[in-house]
Chain A
Amino acid sequence: GAGVSQSPRYKVTKRGQDVALRCDPISGHVSLYWYRQALGQGPEFLTYFNYEAQQDKSGLPNDRFSAERPEGSISTLTIQRTEQRDSAMYRCASSFDSWRETQYFGPGTRLLVL
Chain B
Amino acid sequence: KNEVEQSPQNLTAQEGEFITINCSYSVGISALHWLQQHPGGGIVSLFMLSSGKKKHGRLIATINIQEKHSSLHITASHPRDSAVYICAVSPISGTYKYIFGTGTRLKVLA
Contact = CB atoms under 8 A, between A and B. Distances in A.
A41 B102 contact: yes
B97 A56 contact: yes
Given A56-B94, A100-B30, A100-B90, A44 B45 contact: no
B84 to A, nearest CB: 9
Contacts of A104: 45
26 contacts: A33-B96, A33-B98, A35-B100, A40-B102, A42-B4, A42-B86, A42-B100, A43-B86, A45-B97, A45-B99, A48-B96, A56-B94, A56-B96, A89-B41, A98-B96, A99-B96, A100-B31, A100-B48, A100-B50, A100-B95, A102-B33, A102-B45, A105-B42, A105-B45, A107-B42, A108-B41
* Interface band, chain A: 20 to 34
B88 interface: yes
A105 B43 CA distance: 6
A49 to B, nearest CB: 10
A65 to B, nearest CB: 17
Interface of A: 31, 33, 35, 40-45, 48, 55-56, 89, 91, 95, 98-100, 102-105, 107-108, 110
